[in-house]
Amino acid sequence: MSTHVQRLPGGREDAPLVVFVHGLLTDSLASYYFTLAPDLAAAGVDVLMYDLRGHGRTDRPATGYRLERFVDDLANLLDALGERRPAHVVGNSFGGTIAAGLAAWYPEKVATATMIESEPPTATWTRHMSAGLADAKARLAEEVVINWIEDNHGEHTARLSRGASTILASTTLAEDIPHSRVIGDDLAELTCPLLAVFGDESGLSEQVPDLRARLPRCRTVVLPEQGHSVLIEKPTETRDLVLGWVREHHAAVVAAR
């Protein structure tokens, strides 16, 4: 499978590596290229972005869309690029679930994980995804729905929705993800430092008490007056959170050498 990759070097020999992982269906690496990535590179961070399988300019196989395939893709990409540095993996929405999966199943590759409006890959997550993807596949196949999206949210969002419908119709993504590999509800497999960012108007923020209780190395941040689109609507605040987190933990690694 051919994977579309973009890199923005930080320009320092001891630069930390940040890998940005985007979300499902309507997303691509562009969501980072036009928000966080340039500023992090300018601050001395090596930035790696890529399009997930089936998305953007990466190949779109008809099958093979369980979460573990996405996680393996990232692990294999890091190997193919010769990266030996543990990465600070930052994921938005489904990308955060990939980040958590990499941290659980390839812990040697992860320095820290950041989940922006995401869930860890538990059985609860698969149930949420099963219902949401089935609904999206049915609704986005109807032209009346696309027309409503265009009338209420604009041509750009309608175009993204048509693209999402094409992915869902031409692949087994909606059928595969509910059968993905998961971690236990106790989240014990997540041992690295974890930053979890939510909008206070998003239902995903309901995870905060559980994350705090189960993960002593987890820091949670809830941004006020925000829903699911934290990355796009609050890029400056999100950038500052991510950059501060990466610097804090990279400094700890350097000091321990």
- pLDDT at site 11: 85
Q: 33: burial class by Cβ within 10 Å (0-12, 13-18, 19+)?
A: middle
pLDDT at 257: 53
Q: What is the pLDDT of residue 189?
A: 97
Give me the pLDDT at residue 117, please: 98
What is the reported pLDDT for 58? Answer: 98
CB 189 within 8 A of CB 183: yes
Whether the pLDDT of residue 255 is over 60: the answer is no
Instruction: List, for residues 37-51, the tens digit of each pLDDT value.
Output: 999 999 999 999 999
Predicted pLDDT at 197: 99
Confidence at residue 256, expressed as pLDDT on a 0 to 100 scale: 55
pLDDT score of 102: 99
Domain segments of the chain: what residues? 5-125+180-256
Q: What is the mean pLDDT of residues 169-190?
A: 97
The tens digit of pLDDT for each residue in 88-99 reads 999 999 999 999
| Helices assigned H by DSSP within the chain | 30-33, 37-42, 67-80, 94-105, 123-140, 143-153, 155-170, 173-176, 208-214, 230-233, 235-256
- For residue 215, is pLDDT > 80? yes
- For the chain, the first-to-last Cα distance in angstroms comes to 37
Query: Which pLDDT score is estimated for 83?
Result: 96
Using 50, 70 and 90 to split pLDDT, how confident is the model at 14? confident
What is the pLDDT of the chain when averaged over all its residues?
A: 96
Whether residue 254 is predicted with pLDDT greater than 80 in this model: the reply is no
| pTM for the predicted model, two decimal places | 0.96
Residue 85 CB neighbour total at 10 angstroms: 15
Higher pLDDT, 256 or 241: 241
Mean pLDDT of 223-231: 95
The string of pLDDT tens digits covering residues 112-170 is: 999 999 999 999 999 999 999 999 999 999 999 999 999 999 999 999 999 999 999 99
Average pLDDT of span 75-82:
98
CATH topology of domain 5-125+180-256: Rossmann fold (3.40.50)
